[in-house]
Amino acid sequence: MSDMLVRKLEYFTRLSGEDKRVLKRASEGKIRRFGARVDVIREGEAPEHVNLVLSGWACRYKYLEDGRRQIMSYFVPGDTCDLGVFLLRSMDHSIGTLTAVTMAEVSREAVLEMTGNHSRVSNALWWSTLVAEAVQREWVVNIGQRTAFERIGHLLCEIFIRLRCVGLTTDASCEFPITQAELGEATGLSTVHVNRTLQELRGSNLIVLRDKVLTIPDLAALQRASMFSPNYLHLDREGAHFDANDL
């Protein structure tokens, strides 16, 4: 399962065999398994390690006092749920599962060892953190400026490309276990509005969504319709100058 983390990080910096072994050891810490739609850690609790998603889907979210929830990030295999979170005294948000999830607990000692003693691993992890921040900025634009059609289409493009990067797509299809309510919580739309928008995307022959599988027949067409540019995902190896020589 650590292969997905390696595959993701090598979009930023090509790693040596030793770098990959370091990441593998870090992902072989305490393994925890969670059911669907349960909390991994709640707001206010003290974080002691970094969670690495090995399988399944999770999310970062906050609840309002009246019970409304805002999802701020989706986590898929290969994602770390905030690299420096163990620096906090208490969580300012919650991490919850969307499906059954397997996570590795990466200790603060392992994180500090990787970032302090393995420069390429450190650079790749910081690139990954920068991309996570860029995704958050794009989500703000999504909610603030894009139409419902563009919001949903943009998010589907992003998820598909992120899954493709870690080898979790098959041709034009990928697993898509997110409910319409959870899409609404991420895009600021009601469930009714999400349903209507998905029907519009289907009617435009831009997506097929059936049995928790998303198919995008023409990704370029969906990108154009959603005004999606993948530049914020930084997949063009901008960290290539850090590449390992001993591959």
Residue-level pLDDT, tens digit, the chain, 247 residues: 568 999 999 988 889 999 999 999 888 878 999 999 999 999 999 998 999 999 999 999 999 999 999 999 999 999 999 888 878 889 999 999 999 999 999 988 888 888 899 999 999 999 999 999 999 999 999 999 999 999 999 999 999 999 999 999 999 999 999 999 999 999 999 999 999 999 999 999 999 999 999 999 999 999 999 999 999 999 876 656 666 765 4
Q: What is the pLDDT of residue 1?
A: 53
119-145 helix and 180-187 helix, angle to the nearest 10 degrees: 90
Record the pTM: 0.93
CATH class of 2-135: mainly beta
Burial class of residue 17 in the structure, from the number of CB atoms within 10 Å of its CB (0-12 exposed, 13-18 middle, 19+ buried) = exposed
Q: Which residues contact 62 (CB under 8 A, 6 or more apart)?
A: 43, 69, 70, 72, 93, 94
Residue among 74, 70, 73, 32 at smallest CA distance from 51: 32
**Which residue type is seen at 12?**
F
User: For position 223, what pLDDT does the model report?
Assistant: 98
**pLDDT at position 28, please?**
82
Q: Which tokens is 81 given?
A: 């749920």
66-71 long-range contacts, CB within 8 A, separation 24+: 69/185, 70/185, 70/186, 70/188, 71/182, 71/185, 71/186
Question: What is the domain partition of the chain in residue ranges?
Answer: 2-135, 146-233
CATH of domain 146-233: 1.10.10.10
Do 2-135 and 146-233 come out as alike in CATH topology? no
